[in-house]
Chains A and B, each alone.
Chain A
Amino acid sequence: MNKIANRQVICDVLVEAAKEDKDVVALCSDSRGSASMTKFADTYPEQFVEVGIAEQNLVSISAGLAKCGKKPYASSPASFLSTRSYEQCKVDVAYSNTNVKLIGISGGVSYGALGMSHHSAQDIAAMCSIPNMRVYIPSDRLQTEHLFKALLKDEKPAYIRVGRNPVEDVYEEGNVPFEMDRATVLREGTDIAIIACGEMVKPAADAAKLLEEKGIHAAVVDMYCIKPLDKAAIVKAASGAKAVLTVEEHAPFGGLGSMVSQVVGSECPRKVVNLALPDAPVITGTSKEVFDHYGLNAEGIAKKAMELL
């Protein structure tokens, strides 16, 4: 099992970038430890901005820095960054079109037993509905690295969610198929198309193996780019299958499932079922316990797929 969390990879990529580019700035809201940004803060203190526990300030200050030529990467728990600073994300970043990269750390139910206040099960819905805001949820550390190297090259707003704990690799080191804003097809399949994002990609891929043992051919798509959504990949996977199953660590409304349903409904109508967290406070437990409870694991995904067919 890989021991490197996605957030650690982000810090490493930014430290490397900051070495060459004085304009790369990291900001935290008393969250440098949680964001794994301590190394950045220690290595380039003059390129690090601490704002204290003030998420609205974090986002507005980032926007002001960006407007004056800086390249700010603002990290804060996804729950607070996406909804407490929502107004600032909307007006100062997206609407004003400032080059701010918003990094939602400890996303989804990463904080486990800390409860609903600390879970970000609304961030996809919130962020995707803002014009000019891009939304990315990478599935493993290797994809995270590629994503951030790509983000460093552009000057547009983006929100990126990563989880707190290391996750199993989806890809192989040195062999990561990555194209910016294009979903990664992990496998093709003619029975069911499973479209997942973030930490749900690995169990989706494992589910496909379980299904294969039962003679069911499942396609698996890693939709790390929630917005702009790779519609062509959805249409291709859905058109070649009998039904579509979406899997996400998010509330059942307004997330990946809703967005995929819109595309499938209009382009290639067939049944779409969404596996997600409930429309209720999430049960207490670690991420794994929570996922197992709601069937957001390989067995649960495979079971749901078989019910669908």
Chain B
Amino acid sequence: MSNLKALAYEMRERTIDIIVEGKTGHIGGDMSVMEILTELYFDQMNISPENMDDPDRDKFVMSKGHSMEAYYAVLAEKGFFPIEEVIEKFSKFGSKYIGHPNNKLPGIEMNSGSLGHGLPVCVGMALAAKMNGQGYRTYTVMGDGELAEGSVWEGAMAASHYKLDNLCAVVDRNRLQISGNTEDVMAHDDLHERFRAFGWHVIDVADGNDISQLKAAFEEAKETKGRPTVLIANTVKGKGSPVMEHKAGWHHKVPNQEELAQIRKDLKERKEALLHE
């Protein structure tokens, strides 16, 4: 599907299938991160099942590992494994499709789930490219609640120290974490200033669920030299249906029958509208 905006909605539908069949899932963050992953995997990054053994392909670490259901939908669409298998087996007894990234599966670089690991790991990956004179780029996606982890800032410090302009981090800024609003839990509304103070180029993506805005931001990151770039992507938690949107209670939840019917209807309508845009 060349229409990435509609594709993001189709993959949201598959994400819902995974969560409903598996009877578990971090649904809110899955929905907010979808366009970020879509733009990365279907436009920006040079990653495919065919080139995983190529040392020069791009690198990606899903630091907000709990948004695994969305990541499964994206990797399946990319051809790493069949979506039917994920829907059937996700979180079931003995399954390899677990609730966080598992690098025994094709397409997944690093295991994560414990927050605050992705950025420092990506510093190592980007540093390896600099040491070897390789041209690949390294990407990570973090949650905004995750930024309370001190290790994120250790990584941020090292990334600018080593001038890693081949590294691009994305913050899925949906403003909600499991206990509520990020500003109530541990305020960081001055996020942009914090990253700038650490020597980063900061791009505010006004609508982080807009493929076009994300594309422009990633292109700007590629042109930025001498320092790493972070995209603060302002997204909507639960994006796709008013049933879930902007509600912290949907951080980790399985919709009931009534909610599910409405969510499926909303996702389908938005997808259809985007197909004809």
What separation, in Å, do the CA atoms of A88 and B117 have in the docked complex? 7
A56 touches B121 (CB 8 A): no
A57 touches B128 (CB 8 A): no
Partner of A68, one of B103, B129, B151, B154: B129
When A67-B121, A68-B59 are in contact, do A60 and B127 touch as well, CB less than 8 Å? Answer: no
A68 touches B114 (CB 8 A): no
When A70-B131, A88-B117 are in contact, do A61 and B124 touch as well, CB less than 8 Å? Answer: yes
> Using a CB–CB distance below 8 Å, which chain A residues touch chain B?
25, 46-47, 49, 51-52, 54, 56-57, 60-70, 72, 87-88, 90-92, 95-98
When A54-B157, A61-B158 are in contact, do A96 and B111 touch as well, CB less than 8 Å? Answer: yes
B113 touches A60 (CB 8 A): no
A87 touches B158 (CB 8 A): no
Please give the distance in Å from A236's CB to the nearest CB on chain B. Answer: 36
Chain B residues within 8 Å of A63, by CB: 110, 121, 124
Partner of A52, one of B59, B110, B117, B157: B157
A65 touches B111 (CB 8 A): no
B131 touches A61 (CB 8 A): no
> Using a CB–CB distance below 8 Å, which chain B residues touch chain A?
55, 59, 61, 103, 109-114, 117, 120-129, 131-132, 150-151, 154-155, 157-158, 161
A64 touches B111 (CB 8 A): no
Other than the known A49-B127, A64-B123, what 6 A-B pairs have Cβ atoms closer than 8 Å? A52-B157, A57-B157, A60-B155, A61-B121, A72-B124, A88-B120
B127 touches A64 (CB 8 A): yes
Partner of A92, one of B59, B110, B126: B110
Please give the distance in Å from B276's CB to the nearest CB on chain A. Answer: 42
What separation, in Å, do the CA atoms of A88 and B127 have in the docked complex? 18
B131 touches A64 (CB 8 A): no
Partner of B128, one of A51, A70, A90: A70
When A46-B131, A56-B154, A60-B151 are in contact, do A67 and B125 touch as well, CB less than 8 Å? Answer: yes
Chain A residues within 8 Å of B113, by CB: 91
- With both beta carbons as reference points, the residue of chain A lying nearest to B122 in the complex is identified as A64
Chain B residues within 8 Å of A25, by CB: 131
Chain A residues within 8 Å of B55, by CB: 68-69
With most chain A CB atoms within 10 A of its CB, the pick from B61, B122, B124, B154 is B124
B128 touches A60 (CB 8 A): no
What separation, in Å, do the CA atoms of A46 and B114 have in the docked complex? 31
B154 touches A91 (CB 8 A): no
Partner of A61, one of B61, B103, B109, B120: B120
What separation, in Å, do the CA atoms of A158 and B209 have in the docked complex? 42
B131 touches A91 (CB 8 A): no
Chain A residues within 8 Å of B112, by CB: 91
Chain B residues within 8 Å of A65, by CB: 124-125, 127-128
Chain B residues within 8 Å of A87, by CB: 114, 117
What separation, in Å, do the CA atoms of A25 and B127 have in the docked complex? 11
B158 touches A57 (CB 8 A): yes
What separation, in Å, do the CA atoms of A69 and B113 have in the docked complex? 23
Please give the distance in Å from B231's CB to the nearest CB on chain A. Answer: 20
What separation, in Å, do the CA atoms of A90 and B126 have in the docked complex? 22
Q: 12 interchain pairs (CB within 8 A)?
A: A57-B155, A57-B158, A60-B151, A61-B155, A62-B124, A64-B61, A65-B127, A67-B110, A68-B59, A69-B55, A87-B114, A95-B111
- With both beta carbons as reference points, the residue of chain B lying nearest to A61 in the complex is identified as B124
Chain A residues within 8 Å of B132, by CB: 68-69
What separation, in Å, do the CA atoms of A68 and B114 have in the docked complex? 21
When A56-B120, A60-B121, A62-B124 are in contact, do A67 and B109 touch as well, CB less than 8 Å? Answer: yes
- With both beta carbons as reference points, the residue of chain B lying nearest to A97 in the complex is identified as B103
A66 touches B124 (CB 8 A): yes
With most chain A CB atoms within 10 A of its CB, the pick from B110, B113, B157 is B110
Chain A residues within 8 Å of B121, by CB: 60-61, 63-64, 67, 92
Please give the distance in Å from B199's CB to the nearest CB on chain A. Answer: 14
When A51-B158, A69-B55, A70-B131 are in contact, do A61 and B111 touch as well, CB less than 8 Å? Answer: no
When A57-B151, A57-B155 are in contact, do A91 and B117 touch as well, CB less than 8 Å? Answer: yes
